[in-house]
């Protein structure tokens, strides 16, 4: 049964997060009350064909642009909601479960689907601009930079497409399916795969610069800070590498004791890492030593945390939403209902 692992997103004083299986909510955080402003799916609203809205599970971290919340659900629909009320502005079926998040750029929403296609929709009305087929389901979030959209697919390829037309510029074939969300820094595209490798590619040509091999898959979105790359692996370790050549930055990777799916996050000078068991660690980003931790949330954590100054929001699977301070103290903001 899919559970979902959507991370939270911030829009002013409103946090939009998944607070239960297949449920999304807008939470007011101004007064730390955790008051729920609206919930999705809304009562009484249906799909255009008249069928009931049943998101099943939400893996897609919501994204907010122009007072509209965009997210995909496991039922295959991409939803655009009014940030203030939660009302559906438009909805469109992609033909397969949506696992990655949507990206909004210049009035276009890009989202990958389990049907193997990358879709570009008009953000205003949901009209289809173009779609690009890959050979297998897309479970990662696309990345837009300089009018180029990069998408990693489980067909083992990462594609660079023209953001306006969807025309392919280049593709790179890895040794295994690609589920991690790519990031770009200094003209280098970083993407991890099921072949246990983290690849660094030339963003302009798709040529491989280097790769680093771990003991299990890379499913996290890497974090780039200056010339350092931080990435967690399903082998339970967090790796720090040099961006230019992929050589290890730390004397040894940091072992968390459980698979790491959630992306690492920098809270000032503390690298926040969460493993699947819900154990949080605060690491020294320079040397990789633990400053604090493990702090146990006693919940499964697979979603990417969200930074807000020296604090982070962490969504646990099932819906509990926690706040984590850079000193390791935690609080439950919204409990599962």
Partner 1 sequence: MALWDIVFINPITNALIVLNNIVLGNFGVAIILFTILMRLLTMPLTVRQIRSSRSLSTLQPRIQELQKKHKDPKRRQEETMKLYREAGVNPLGCLLPMLVQFPIWISLYRALRITVGGTPESFLGLSQRLYPWGYIEQALPLQNKFLWMDLGQPDTSLILAFMVFASTYVQQRLATPPTTDPRTQSTNQMMLWMMPLMFAFFTLQVPSGLGVYWAVSNIVGVIMYYFVYGPEQVNWRTILMPPSTAPAGQQGSRRGGRPPKEKEPAQEPVEAAMPTGGKNKKRSSHARSRGKRKDRR
Rule CB under 8 A: which residues touch partner 1?
1-3, 5, 57, 59, 99, 136-137, 139, 154, 156, 175-177, 179, 194-196, 215-217, 219, 234, 259, 261, 276, 302
What is the rounded CA–CA span in Å between residue 312 and residue 104? Answer: 23
Nearest distance from residue 90's CB to partner 1, in Å?
26
Nearest distance from residue 330's CB to partner 1, in Å?
24
Do 95 and 115 meet the contact criterion of CB atoms below 8 Å apart? yes
What is the rounded CA–CA span in Å between residue 58 and residue 25? Answer: 12
Do 269 and 287 meet the contact criterion of CB atoms below 8 Å apart? no
Whichever of 5 and 199 has its CB closer to partner 1, that residue is: 5
Nearest distance from residue 1's CB to partner 1, in Å?
7
Do 309 and 325 meet the contact criterion of CB atoms below 8 Å apart? no
Whichever of 176 and 328 has its CB closer to partner 1, that residue is: 176
275 contact partners, CB below 8 Å, separation of at least 6:
232, 236, 256, 257, 258, 259, 260, 262, 281, 301
Whichever of 35 and 173 has its CB closer to partner 1, that residue is: 173
| Sign of the Cα pseudo-torsion (168, 173, 178, 184, in order) | negative
Whichever of 23 and 114 has its CB closer to partner 1, that residue is: 114
Whichever of 38 and 199 has its CB closer to partner 1, that residue is: 199
Nearest distance from residue 205's CB to partner 1, in Å?
24
Please give the DSSP secondary-structure letter assigned to residue 42: P
Nearest distance from residue 40's CB to partner 1, in Å?
20
């Amino acid at each position: 049964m899919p559970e979902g692992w959507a991370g939270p997103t911030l829009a002013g004083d409103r946090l939009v997060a998944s607070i239960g299986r297949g449920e999304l909510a807008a939470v007011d955080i101004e007064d730390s009350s955790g008051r729920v402003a609206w919930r999705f799916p809304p009562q009484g609203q249906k799909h255009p064909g008249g069928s009931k809205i049943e998101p099943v599970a939400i893996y897609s971290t919501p994204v907010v642009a122009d007072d509209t919340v965009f997210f995909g659900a496991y039922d295959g629909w991409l939803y655009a909601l009014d940030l203030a009320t939660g009302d559906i502005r438009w909805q469109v079926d992609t033909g397969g479960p949506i696992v990655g998040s949507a990206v909004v750029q210049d009035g276009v929403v890009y989202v990958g689907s389990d049907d193997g296609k990358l879709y570009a929709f008009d953000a205003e009305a949901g009209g289809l601009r173009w779609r690009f087929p890959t050979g297998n389901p897309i479970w990662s979030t696309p990345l837009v930079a300089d009018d180029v959209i990069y998408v990693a697919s489980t067909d083992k390829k990462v594609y660079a497409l023209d953001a306006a037309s969807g025309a392919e510029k280049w593709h790179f074939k890895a040794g295994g399916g690609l589920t991690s969300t790519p990031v770009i820094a200094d003209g280098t595209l970083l993407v991890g795969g099921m072949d246990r490798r983290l690849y660094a590619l030339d963003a302009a040509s798709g040529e491989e610069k280097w790769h680093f091999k771990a003991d299990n898959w890379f499913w996290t979105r890497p974090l780039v800070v200056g010339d350092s790359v931080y990435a967690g692996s399903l082998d339970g370790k967090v790796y720090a590498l040099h961006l230019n050549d992929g050589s290890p930055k730390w004397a040894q990777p940091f072992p968390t004791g459980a698979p790491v799916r959630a992306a690492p996050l920098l809270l000032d000078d503390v690298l926040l890492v969460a493993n699947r068991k819900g154990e949080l660690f605060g690491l020294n980003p320079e040397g990789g030593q633990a400053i604090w931790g493990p702090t146990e949330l006693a919940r499964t954590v697979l979603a990417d945390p969200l930074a807000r100054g020296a604090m982070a929001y962490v969504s646990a699977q099932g819906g509990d939403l926690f706040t984590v301070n850079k000193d390791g103290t935690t609080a439950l903001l919204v409990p599962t209902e």
